[in-house]
Chain A
Amino acid sequence: MSALEARAVSKLYRAHDVEVLAVDALTLSVEAGEFVALIGPSGSGKTTMLALLAGLLLPDSGEVVIEGRSLNSLGKAGLAAFRLKQIGFTFQAHNLVPYLTVRENVELMLRLNGRLDRQGRARATELLTQLGLERRLNNLPSELSGGQQQRVAIARALVHEPSIVLADEPTASLDSERAHQVTAILAQLIHAQGRAGIMVTHDPRMCIYADRIVRLEDGRVTRVLTTREEIALFAQTG
């Protein structure tokens, strides 16, 4: 059983009498410990797919199954509880609560889960140390660089030991050196902790850290790269 499975999911947006099939019968599965890069042109449905996988959107057809359970059957509250427990999320922006320190932002995930115990705190500190933030624990987000903020978000996405980690363009606002740093550590932690990770990115170079590259176009998978050679070549040439 895969950690995550999307089975022929479709999502149709309707706005002003225009229908956009943002995700079109897409099937995808990700194993625990696997890090997948989701790429594709703007408007190809990457973010929509992420929202479907997180249960933030429900598909018009198909289903998302995580750890053997279909998200379609969970209600709104059930989905929130599911996200809280099973999903680690990083966003492009507004990742952190501005009035909480770095440590508090990470611990918030444990607090929300009702799991803020000694081990949890220790795990938070360890993660932040691995992410090179051990000297920033008591800083507020406004006192951090963009890359540091993304790293805090990564710590928060992992601290509650979720089965799925979803990252929406984690490097979009970073320079290339920081982007490499952040993606490398994200990949490393996903591998080490055995999470199923999916990262949406526009930057082919970041795909070097992925185990698989899935390319979307018009809501459909048009290309999948799995071997190290293919991935390395793609990362170099785009």
Chain B
Amino acid sequence: MRSLYLAVTEIARNKLRFVVVFLIVALITILVLFTAALGDGLAQSTSEYLDGLDASLLAFQSDVNYQIPASRLGRSRLNAIRRVPGVLAVGPIGVSSATIIAVDGVACKELSAALIGVEPRAPGSPPVLRGDPLANSRAADAVVDQHIVERLGLPIGATITLKVVQGMEEQHYNLRVVGATSGSKINFTPAIFVPLQRWDRIRPQEQVGGSGNEIIFNIVAVQLDGSVPSATVADEVMVQVAHVEMTDPVTAYKATQGYQDMQSTLSLQQGFVLVIVVLIIGSFFQIQTLQKVAQIGMLKAIGASSWTVVGALLFQIMLTLLVGLSVGLAAVWLLAQALPTGIPLVFSGGKIAVAIASILAAGPLAAMLAVRTILKIEPLRALGLSA
């Protein structure tokens, strides 16, 4: 308590000096939390659809490293997967992109979207928030992500016009919006879901109007009945069905081009920021300690233990971090309220806890240099002597 007393009194009587460090910690907190939120936000934007999929396994063409655009599967393999024991249902998924250019025949601001072909009622088919799910496998119906609905102010029942390049030509297709869904982002873009047959006709391709014989899609969502462990089903599929590789949705989106690079860049950045915290706090308190050498020598000479002085230092560092963190958290909260929608920032409790814990953990690290200095100060110097 002597330590706490010394720590708090010194801060109280040197407010300006400490306010500066509080602010530095607050700003660093904001930076760390935003980086974490950006990481989660970007992750969500690339993985939202796969992450929320109603399927435990995904089938890819083998040797494509789980890259969706590179994977090509057809009906025969879909059916073969369906027959593997433990499989409850399968759903084909085709992913491409399109641009919305008009609503109800009136040109709108062009908006790019993922165009996802699914089989109505099969795994992969999106749940709807409003309106109806896809039902007719041939209809020119679409279930559209809420982000698009909001951006374009789309009513259910509206007709949207897509622009797609097929062969050398730009083609326009009309779709009727039957329902709205959410959480469908893939590759940073929200999706438009259409029945697979329709998708095959309107997706960008070399010839106008579809592939003809067999519809080629990209991946298969596999639902299990739970009778067989998922790893066993995956192995069995790979044995029974040629050129198919099975994985779970999380592994799949983590393999998405750039996902790991992006996440590791952000982690690296956070790591650097934490190193900066350690260095700033460490040097601030080291400089303070060096300025107090005479005072500390005197305290030791009158009988204060080194631990009293070290304790005061640790209290000051922890208080600095706590105050800075609180201010930073409050600022982040306020900023988060004020953020416009559509910015890929996701504040998750877990990441915030980790960020706070790592900033606090920076304290003892930052203290090390100054602690060493304190321990080395001889009480003798109060008398102007050295040993």
Residues of A within 8 A of B (CB): 47-48, 50-51, 54, 56-57, 77, 80-85, 87, 89, 91-95, 97-100, 104, 109, 111-113, 140, 156, 168
**How many contacts between A and B, using CB within 8 angstroms?**
75
**Measuring CB to CB, which residues of chain B are less than 8 angstroms from any residue of chain A?**
2, 5-6, 9-10, 13-14, 294-295, 297-305, 308, 379-380, 382-385, 387
CA distance A47 to B383 in the complex (A): 7
Q: Give the CA-CA distance A83 to B387 in the complex, in Å.
A: 18
Query: Which residues of B have CB within 8 Å of A47?
Result: 383-385
Residue among A50, A95, A112 facing the most chain B CB atoms (10 A cut-off): A112
**Complex CA–CA separation, A92 to B382 (angstroms):** 8
Closest 4 CB pairs of A and B: A84-B303, A83-B303, A94-B294, A99-B13
B13 contacts A140, C-beta separation under 8 Å: yes
Chain B residue nearest to A113 in the complex (CB): B303
Contact A54 to B301, CB < 8 A, known contacts A47-B383, A104-B9:
yes
Q: Considering the complex, give the chain A residue whose CB is closest to the CB of B5.
A: A111
* Complexed CA–CA distance, A77 and B305 (Å): 7
Is the CB–CB distance between A111 and B305 below 8 Å? no
Q: For the complex, what is the distance from the CA of A83 to the CA of B384, rounded to whole Å?
A: 18
Alpha-carbon separation in the docked complex, A81 to B300 (Å): 10
B298: contacting residue among A81, A91, A104, A113, CB under 8 A: A91
A85–B297 Cα distance when bound, in Å, is 17
Max count, chain A CB within 10 A of own CB: residue among B299, B302, B379: B302
Q: Contact at B380–A80, with CB atoms within 8 Å?
A: no
- Contact (Cβ within 8 A) A111 B383: no
The answer to whether B2 touches A111, judged by C-beta atoms less than 8 angstroms apart, is yes
Q: Are A92 and B305 CB-contacts (below 8 A) given A97-B295, A99-B13, A111-B5?
A: no
How far is A140 from B14 in the complex, measured between Cα atoms in Å? 12
Expressed in whole angstroms, the Cα–Cα distance for A104 and B300 within the complex equals: 17
Q: Which residues of B contact A84 (CB under 8 A)?
A: 302-304
A-B contact pairs, 8 of them (CB 8 A): A81-B305, A84-B303, A89-B302, A94-B294, A99-B9, A99-B10, A99-B13, A156-B302
Chain A residue at minimal CB-CB distance from B298? A94
Residues of B within 8 Å of A140, CB to CB, are 13
Besides A97-B298, A111-B2, 17 other CB < 8 A contacts?
A47-B385, A51-B380, A56-B382, A57-B380, A57-B385, A57-B387, A81-B303, A82-B303, A83-B301, A85-B303, A89-B301, A91-B301, A91-B383, A100-B9, A100-B13, A112-B2, A113-B303
Among A50, A97, A156, the most chain B Cβ lie within 10 Å of the Cβ of A97
**Which of the listed residues A48, A87, A89, A94 has the most CB atoms from chain B within 10 Å of its own CB?**
A94
Q: Which residues of B contact A91 (CB under 8 A)?
A: 298, 301, 382-383
A52 to chain B, nearest CB (A): 10
* Contact (Cβ within 8 A) A92 B384: yes
Residues of A within 8 A of B300 (CB): 80
Assess whether A51 is in contact with B295, with CB atoms less than 8 Å apart: no
Q: How far is the CB of B299 from chain A (nearest CB, A)?
A: 7
Chain A residues whose CB sits within 8 angstroms of the CB of B382 once the complex forms: 56, 89, 91, 94
Residues of B within 8 A of A94 (CB): 294-295, 297-298, 382
| CB <8 Å contact, B295 and A98 | yes
| Closest-CB distance, A171 to chain B (whole angstroms) | 16
Within 8 Å CB of A50, what residues of B?
383
Question: In the complex, what residue of chain A is closest to B379 when comparing beta carbons?
Answer: A56
**CB-nearest residue of chain B to A86:** B303
Are B303 and A99 in contact (CB-based, < 8 A)? no
* Chain A: minimal CB distance from B159 (Å): 74
| Bound: A89/B298 CA distance, A | 9
CA distance A91 to B379 in the complex (A): 12
- Specify which chain A residues have a CB less than 8 angstroms from the CB of B308 in the assembled complex: 112
CB <8 Å contact, A97 and B303: no
Evaluate whether A168 and B9 lie within 8 angstroms (CB atoms) in the complex, with A83-B302, A91-B298 already known.
Answer: no
Most buried by B among A48, A51, A93: A51
Q: Which residues of B lie under 8 Å from residue A80 when comparing CB positions? A: 300, 303-305, 379
A46 nearest in chain B by CB position: B383
B10 CB → nearest A CB, Å? 5
Query: In the assembly, what is the distance between CA of A177 and CA of B121, in Å?
Result: 102
Whether the Cβ atoms of A109 and B10 lie closer than 8 Å is no
- State A82–B304 Cα separation when bound (angstroms): 10
In the bound complex, residues from chain B placing their C-beta under 8 Å from that of A112 are 2, 302-304, 308
Note all chain B residues with C-beta closer than 8 A to A87.
302-303
Chain A nearest CB, measured from B25 CB (Å): 21
User: Cα distance A156–B223 when bound, in Å?
Assistant: 79
A163 CB to closest chain B CB, in angstroms?
A: 13
